[in-house]
Structure 1
Amino acid sequence: MRKFLTIALFLLVGLKLSASHIVGGDIYYQHLGNDLYRITMKLYVDCYNGRPEAIESDKKAYFGIFDGANNDYIKGIEIERTGPVHLSGVPYKCIVNTESVCVDQYTYVFETELPKRKGGYIIAFQRCCRNNTIKNITNPGGTGSTYWVKIPDRNDYNSDNSPIFKKFPPIYICNQLPLVFDHSATDADGDSLSYELYQPYQGADKDMPQPIPPADPPYSKIWWSGGFNTQNPMWGNPSLAIDPETGELTVTPSITGQFVIGIKVKEWRNGVLIGETLRDYQFNVLDCKAVVVSYFKPLTSCSDTVIFSNKSIGAEGYEWDFGDPSSGFTNNRSNLKNPVHVFSKGGDYIVKLKAWNSACIDEYSFKVKVRIKKGFDLGKNYTYCVPFKNQLSVPWNDYNTINWSTGENTTFINISTPGTYWVEAVYGLCVLKDTIKIGYEPVNFNPLKDSLFCENVNTTLELINATPNSRVMWSTGDTILRTTATKEGKYTVRLFNSFCAKDDTALMTIARIQPNLGNDIFVCNDFSITFDAGNMPEGTQFLWNNGSTERAISTSQPGKFWVTTRLKHCTKSDTVKIDNSKVNIDLGNDRHFCDSVNIVLDAGPPRTGTTCTYLWSNNETNRTTLIRHTGKHWARITDNFGCSNSDTIQFFMTISPKINIGKDTVICVRSPIKLSAGKGYTAYLWNTGATSESIKVETEGTYFVTVTDEAGCTNTDSIIVKTDPNRLPNEIFVPNAFTPNGDELNDVFPFKDAVLHSDYNLKIFNRWGEKIYDSDFTPEPWNGETNKNDDQLDAYIWIVKYKGCDGSLKTNKGTITIVR
């Protein structure tokens, strides 16, 4: 119902826009990543005979996108074209065209999202109509075109870009003149390409020249008119053909007119066909006036001697290159009009002819096929010595028929049995034959075995199950089935007949695995010795007395050590003993002394069961020595085995630090002083527990400090501090508030205790200047009591006079607040 309605809406438009202007087209795609694709269509139109209004109606094209598995319509996209590009390519050098031909190329490009879909997608465009004068299809003026391409399933092929033709086709070709045109394509993915002719597709008609959307796949093909078909879409001698490998298109047209052809490029990945690009195009064949044309026959020969018939037009001179360098430089070239060339062997040769006159130079090259016995060769007769699978093949793959003696008709056969094989291949009038004889006469015997001997070689080597009626040759000179081996080394044998031979080798080896740990050893003091069993043949196993399976072991202990080596069934062993006397001496670590050195050093007693002698650096020979000076001091002990050991110790000395924290002193009451031990020491310790460089004291007592320098030396100093009770400090702290509430905290003013100094006096006044306290009359501190009418007053003025610690009289004043 969807398509019926769409067609009905555009029916009237389609009636007005039908025209015979379509020359051809092709569609290709590019995968831009993820789900994004770019679709491009090249549309070729006849700009000479085509109606301008019809060409203008193609300003926009409508593309249909279909499900590649079930052909269901998915969506449509309308795109405006770019162009035109006026095509002018002509595959001739020296002709004059007297007829008018015009072909324009328009390009339609769009990008669209195409998610992964089972079966992929089909992109299609349809347009009617083709030129009325086309000769090779029925009803050309009422036949349209379908240009389409299938995008493969990305579930099978993660990414793919379609092949793109390198060149646009020629706008016309000349009657009776040879055409050689490169119709190859490129592939961005590096896939393999092959080429063939195909039958173009029709689509749309005069009633619906621009169907929107295009019809669902599959699409119908054009109808060939009488005598034409897919492999012969136009008259020619030779007829139209395309090289399946190179894409080279060749034809020599034999009549004028317009002909529809289809060129297909197939895309192969890992031997699997994954896509196709189709080009539907109209060839315009015209009568051309040739200035000069290079052309020749024949193109096939059943003889190595070929007489070339020069069909060039208007030429005054010629230059031939037969593409056969094996025939020699001189023979491979000619300047004759109709030369004769003897080809070196059968094969395909690119023969080139250059023809010229004073106006122009034309060149023609073509693949000449020489089908002769020389070069058609299955090879020499051959006899196999082992089971075989081989392939016999004929050169070239363009025969009309191939018949093998096996009944097969392919260009090759696979063989695996002896016999006589022949092949007959027919190419036109050329019949080629060849025969080959395949034999199979193997010789065989059981393989010889290598042998390992623990001491001497003495064994018999024999060929078991040897092929009868064969000859034997041993490396010992024996020519019978057995020989005797008495020496270490390789023994070779050959069993042979007239065609085949089999060689084998047996290796006789003596197990050279005797370890050598050396002589017994006596060592002094601490040691580390490595025992190496030696370089042994591959596969040798090792076992030491400590359980190690390595080639070598290391030890630092005395005792007996053995190793056993094993290679298959052979074993060897060796033993070594280590004796050791150890002299111990330890004078201790280097030491530092303060002010003087006075120490006895002891080198230590001899080891149990030994006697020893002593020697000190001061030449004393006792076990101990008294040291009273700095420097290095050493001792050496030598035991009765001759083993000795020594040790060295170094003594350093520095003078203890000198400190002075001052002379004994007297201080005033509440007048702290600072005691300092001086800077530059690593540690301080006062009898107060302080660890700082200095302390403050304000009470009587004896104070002392111990300092330690960076060498660890110490010294101590002390001072006696006394307090003069008759002296007050130079500055007295007087609080500005107190709380006479009986809690024994700040209950009196200014101090908790009475000040009994004769020079001390404190007076307190209320705000009216009335004196309410005088320490001369009441030495006890003020408890905040006043006259009754002053009980509510809370701010008072005080004046204090006293003699300071420096002997001068001081006067201070301020206010005091009672907090009740």
Structure 2
Amino acid sequence: MTFLIRILLFFSCLILYTKSGATHIVGGELNYRSIGSNLYEVKLTVYRDCINGQAQFDNPASIGIFDANNMLVSSVTAYITNQQNVPNVINTPCLIPPTNICYEVATYEFTTPITPSTGGYQIVYQRCCRNNTIINVANVASTGATYNAGIPDPTLAAENSNPVFRNWPPTFICVDAPFVFDHSAFDYDGDSLVYEICLPLSGADRSTPQPQPPNNPPYAPIQYLAPYSVNNVFGGTPLTIDQRTGIIKAIPNALGQFVYGVCVKEFRNGVFISATRRDFQVNVVPCPTITVASIFSPTVSCGNLTASFTNNSYNAASYTWDFGDLTTGSDTSSVRNPAWAYPDTGRYVATLIAHSSMDPSCDDTTTGEVFILPAFFADFSILNTRCSPEFIFSDGSFGIGGISNYWKWNMGDGSIFNSMNVSHTYVQPGIYEVSLISSNDPYCPDTLTKSVSVLPVPESEFTTELDTCAQEVKVRDFSRNASVSHWNFRDNWLFDVRETELIHAYNAEGVYQIMHVSVSDSGCVDSSSFAVDIPPLPDAAFRHAVRDCDSLVEFFNLSSNAVMYEWDFGDGNVSTQFSPSHTYSVAGNIPVSLTVTSPHSCTDFILKDVFFISYKEAGFDLSIDSCSGQITFHSVTDNAVTYEWDFGDGRTSELRYPVHTFNKDGTYEISLKVNGKSACADSASRLTVYESPLGETLFIPNSFTPNGDGINDIFKISVYRPCETYNLQVFNRWGKIVYETADAASAFWDGSAEDGQIQSGVYVYLLKGSAGEKKGTITVIR
């Protein structure tokens, strides 16, 4: 009862949609065929709903040809060459095809010239609109259709014809029943074909339902209405397609009208050429009580003579199988999913009768191809130079039926290839699982997976920083994927270095090609090099010349690799000349230095003692100390190298300023000889009368009366012929200092202290000098 209600509701909806003004487009595809001389036969196939449709087929239809820049290059007006109904068929006599489903198909065929052009062309037809009753397309009322086909760039294919589908698609399928359909195609050029479920394209709209010419590319796909998608077109068991055979399968679980797309791509020598896109609306209808015989077809056994059959029949009570083995009459079975051992490889046709539980006249019969094929084994070899990310994969697949004619490589990094052999470069190191699916027929592919290890490749990189004056180079290692480094500085090798910064000192000038080798943990290497120029260092050197007894010294610069010179003559004078001359006021050993600077601002320094003796006139003055009797000399000849004194008493000195004391009074001849051991000697002398000194005399009062009467009010020490300075301290009876002065000869004491006037009494004084000290008492009388 519930199923009957679903049927009534479905057909009521179709009638209701008819009255509500649905339109007419239900599908189409576009094909072309090259017939030589840049001529193409073009065939446009369009399907319309002849019940719900409001508009007839376009006659003529406007077809546009667009170049690779999406610019219109040609517009063709095409007329219908054939028009007929698409039969509503199903493989059972127990179902009357729905009378409320009516599709017409029209074909437009014409020939047009198309000149080869870079990037190829698109042939395009557009029409609006689709049926409003479609339930899996968003905004269906304003969604039109675009049917197009691409002519490839002539460098890919000088001539080409795109694939052509073999069969018309079914107009309806049964809800909750297995749907299996051969959606395969053929190709005039024999190119390899690959199938997929794809998105139909939208195009045109209600405002311009019949664009003349079509709108320029690109074209957007239709938008499926959730929960439907390209991976879930009908609901239920999703619609799938065998990419090799084009067999589509599904078990829809919802009633209604659905749009789906099937694309067949063509490859030539592993390179994509073009494709054909079929856009079609199918009706999912209830099929009550029918018995449908269905075999999963083709049934394929690879490398085994026994075929196992899958029975997809619907509403059957029992089954009768005939396996098509002509070598025996007993190749039958009543098992739902039987198996049969065939005598040899080859193609067979199995027959299945699905028996109805209600009426034997509703039994359904179907046939299915059976392929018993020899085993096929995928295999491939790998060629790789160690530490290189580039790999060469060569097909080695084999089988009794011959070598491979189909390949699908998965490189493990997202890259897919369809050629026989593959050269592939990995971007990142790591372990990749590489798989090859190969076959020599559409039914027995084999898969082999191998692991490849892409080793991390080091990248050598370093910078240099040159210290010219130290003849040192600092290198900084910025290498990647390296664990150790080797350095060749051309005068020395350093191995297994882990530091990222090194300083290397060179011993000589020159151009050195520094080579750096980075080594990874896996032993992979990379190298880089850089040339450094070590310039020569400056070398300071000079000699000098001077005439006898002259003060003019000539300097001769013997330095090399220098551009600046700084002389220090050792007497406070300097020069920047290359080879200067200098007149000295001094003589003897004089430290002369030369600092030189190179073009790279490097310096060198040399210090030498320059010795010479110049003529100096001997002369001197003297004075006698009245206290000590010591004779000191002054105004002695300047800048002589040597001084020789003879004091006339048998004693001598070589000091410039000697101090001398005679032992007894008398007249002495004191002489001075300068530079005496050279040709520049000179002498001077003078007679000196010497008398022993009388010495100093001290007078120390023993009392004073500080009472302010002007008589004997102060205490003062008198010194006659003073020879030194005395320190005076005065103590009271308790040892406290009441007066102190550092110069007793010039100071006086008035009897005062820090805390006022002292009292009358006896006080002790202490007089200190360099020769000793003297103590005594002072009586203060007030």
TM-score (norm 2): 0.42
